[in-house]
Chains A and B, each alone.
Chain A
Amino acid sequence: MKPTRLTPPLSEPDIRKLRTGDLVSITGKIVTARDKAYTRAISDAKLPVKLQGGIVYHCGPLAKRTPSGWKVVSAGPTTSARMDQIQAKFVKLTGVRALIGKGGVGEKVAGQLARLGCVYLAFPGGTGALAAKSVAKIEGVFWRDLGIPEALWVLRVRDFGPLVVAIDTRGDNIYLDQKRWN
C-alpha cells in the first residue's frame, strides 16, 4: 500500500478521512514536544511556534552542534502515553491535528483525541537513524533551557514514513485490539 502524503497545515476534513491501518507520510513542518514542553505549553500559553493544524512529534532528538548549526543525528519517537494526563489539554490548546509517537495513548485519551479531530500516527520506536534521514532541515529550536531532548525542535521533513494511522477520529484504536486476549 502506498502511503498518502500529508502536508501540514492540515484541515479537520483531511484528518477525519483517515482510518486506522491507513499508511501516511509527511512532507513539511513538524514540531517535537514531550514531557517538559507539554507542561510548559499548558501552563504558559505563549507558544514560540504556531501549531494550529500542525503536527506534533513525540520525540527527544539526539542532535549535535556543527559549525553550520544543529544537526539531527537520531530522532525516533518516544512513548506517547507519558503525556496522557495533559494530552487532550495540549491538543485543544494548540489546535494540533496529528500526533506522531510510539506505543499509543490510553483509552480515555484516544476518545478525547477523536472528539478534538486529532489522529495518532505510529512510527516504530528505536528507528532513530531512519527517522533522522527524513529530516531535511532544522528550522528552529525553542525552549532550549529544558534540555536538548525536551526542547521544541521545528523540523522540516521529507517523506517521513510510512506512518500507521493507529487511532482515528472515529475513535478506532489499533492498540486496543489486543484486549480480546485479556
Chain B
Amino acid sequence: MLTEDGLYRVVLEMLHRAEITLPGDVTRALKRALNRGRNPIAKLQLELMLKNLKVAKKMDVPICQDTGTFTFFVQIGRKLQLNFDLRDVLTRAVTEATLKVPLRTNVVDPITRKPMKSNTGEGQPNIHIELVEGNEFQIDLLVRGSGAENCGRLFMLGPTAGSDGVKQAVLTTLREAGGKPCPPTIVGVGIGGTMETACVGAKRALLRSLKKPNSDPALAKLERKIELAANRLDIGPMGLGGRTTVLGVRIEKATSHTASLPVAVAFQCWAARRASAKLVNGEPRLVEP
C-alpha cells in the first residue's frame, strides 16, 4: 500500500542517493569518453570527474556542492486513492534531506534574493503530476544545478523550420553555453506543443537512460544526428576542448499549432543526478533510474 510514511522514506532515500551517486548509464558514458580523442586536458577533466565520483561515494557526501533544486515527475494511476497531501510529503522530504545529507540551501526569493529555509518555498520543489491508467505509481527526480539550468533556451521557430531547424537551435544553444553547463552534458529537447509543454518535455526527456534509444525511430535518428554534430563542436569536457561535448541527446515531441514550432533545450550537467521509485508489489521501492 502507498502510505504517507512509506512514500516519505522512499523520497528521502531518492534524494540522498541522487546527490551522492550517479546512475550507471551516466558513469559508463563518462568512462567511454576517456578514450575519445587525444586532448590531454579533456582526458584530465574526465579523470577528475570519475575520481570525484569515487570520493563522493566513499565519503557519503554530495558529488557537487551545487546540490541543486528538485523537479519531481509523478505518475499516478487513476484507480489509486492517496489519503495524504503529496506536495506536503515531497516538501518534508526535501526539508529533511537538506539537514541530513546535508544539502546546500540554494532556494531564495527571486526578487529580494532572501534565502528560504531548507530549499523549499513557492514552486519548490517543482512537481509535475500526470494521471495514468490503473494502479501504477511512479516518481522520478531530477536534481537541477544552476550551471546547467541557466543555459537552457526556448525557441519559437517558424513552422517550416523542420528537423534541421531543431538541430540548429540545439547547436546554437550549445555554442552559447560553451563550458558553462559543465559539459559533457545530456541535452533534453522538447519539440512542439506550446511554450510550456516544450519546456517540460525537454526536462522530462532528461529522465530517459542513456542506454535507451528513442522509441520513435525518426526521433532516434535525429538524436543521433544532433549528438554527432554536437561532439564536433570541440567544446569538450568543461569547455576546454575535446571530442565529448554531450553524452547524449534526448528528445520528446508533442503536436503543435499549424503556425508554431516551439523548441526547448534543457541541459543536464555531467553530474546527471536522478532517481526513480515506483510501486513494486504494492510497496514504494527505489528502481534503477
Closest-CB distance, B68 to chain A (whole angstroms) = 11
B102 contacts A149, CB within 8 Å? no
Bound complex: CA A180 to CA B235 (Å): 11
Residues of A within 8 A of B239 (CB): 103-104, 175, 178
Bound complex: CA A80 to CA B14 (Å): 30
Q: Which of B132-140, B174-182, B277-285 contacts A (4 or more CB under 8 A)?
A: B174-182
Closest-CB distance, A93 to chain B (whole angstroms) = 23
Bound complex: CA A176 to CA B241 (Å): 9
Residues of A within 8 A of B182 (CB): 102-103, 124-126
Known contacts: A104-B178, A181-B234. The answer to whether A174 contacts B241 by CB under 8 A is: yes
Residues of A within 8 A of B270 (CB): 126
A181 contacts B65, CB within 8 Å? no
Per-residue 0/1 for B32-66: is the Cβ within 8 Å of any A Cβ (1 yes, 0 no)? 00000000110011001101100110010111111
Is A87 in contact with chain B by the CB < 8 A criterion? Answer: no
Q: Which of B71-79, B89-97, B103-111, B194-202 contacts A (4 or more CB under 8 A)?
A: B103-111
A129 contacts B56, CB within 8 Å? yes
- Name the residue in B65, B178, B232, B271 with the highest tally of chain A Cβ atoms < 10 Å from its Cβ: B65
Number of chain A residues close to chain B: CB under 8 A: 44
Per-residue 0/1 for A46-76: is the Cβ within 8 Å of any B Cβ (1 yes, 0 no)? 0000000000000111101000000001111
A74 contacts B234, CB within 8 Å? no
Closest-CB distance, B171 to chain A (whole angstroms) = 10
Tell which of A1, A104, A180 touches B179, judged by Cβ atoms closer than 8 Å: A104
Is A11 in contact with chain B by the CB < 8 A criterion? Answer: no
Closest-CB distance, A78 to chain B (whole angstroms) = 7
Residues of B within 8 A of A178 (CB): 175, 178, 233-236, 239, 241
Known contacts: A103-B180, A148-B105. The answer to whether A74 contacts B45 by CB under 8 A is: no
Nearest residue (CB) in A for B20 is A129
B178 contacts A128, CB within 8 Å? no
Tell which of A76, A122, A166 touches B65, judged by Cβ atoms closer than 8 Å: A76
A62 contacts B62, CB within 8 Å? yes
Is B6 in contact with chain A by the CB < 8 A criterion? Answer: no
Bound complex: CA A95 to CA B235 (Å): 31
Residues of B within 8 A of A164 (CB): 41, 44-45, 240
Residues B206-260 near A (CB distance < 8 A): 232-241
Bound complex: CA A128 to CA B68 (Å): 13
Is B120 in contact with chain A by the CB < 8 A criterion? Answer: no
Bound complex: CA A23 to CA B45 (Å): 12
A74 contacts B62, CB within 8 Å? yes
Bound complex: CA A64 to CA B102 (Å): 8
Bound complex: CA A174 to CA B238 (Å): 11
Is A79 in contact with chain B by the CB < 8 A criterion? Answer: yes
Residues of A within 8 A of B62 (CB): 62, 73-74, 128-129
Is A21 in contact with chain B by the CB < 8 A criterion? Answer: yes
Is A127 in contact with chain B by the CB < 8 A criterion? Answer: yes
Per-residue 0/1 for A160-182: is the Cβ within 8 Å of any B Cβ (1 yes, 0 no)? 00101010000000110110111
B65 contacts A147, CB within 8 Å? no
Tell which of A102, A103, A126 touches B271, judged by Cβ atoms closer than 8 Å: A126
A103 contacts B147, CB within 8 Å? yes
B52 contacts A78, CB within 8 Å? no
Nearest residue (CB) in A for B59 is A129
Is A41 in contact with chain B by the CB < 8 A criterion? Answer: no
Tell which of B61, B105, B113, B147 touches A74, judged by Cβ atoms closer than 8 Å: B61
28 A-B pairs with CB atoms under 8 Å apart are A1-B40, A59-B65, A62-B62, A62-B67, A62-B103, A74-B67, A78-B66, A78-B147, A102-B147, A102-B179, A102-B238, A103-B179, A103-B238, A124-B45, A124-B48, A124-B52, A125-B147, A126-B52, A126-B182, A127-B64, A129-B52, A149-B65, A149-B106, A162-B48, A164-B240, A177-B234, A178-B175, A178-B241
What residues of chain A have their CB less than 8 Å away from a CB belonging to chain B? 1, 21, 23, 36, 59-62, 64, 73-76, 78-79, 81, 102-104, 122-133, 147-149, 162, 164, 166, 174-175, 177-178, 180-182
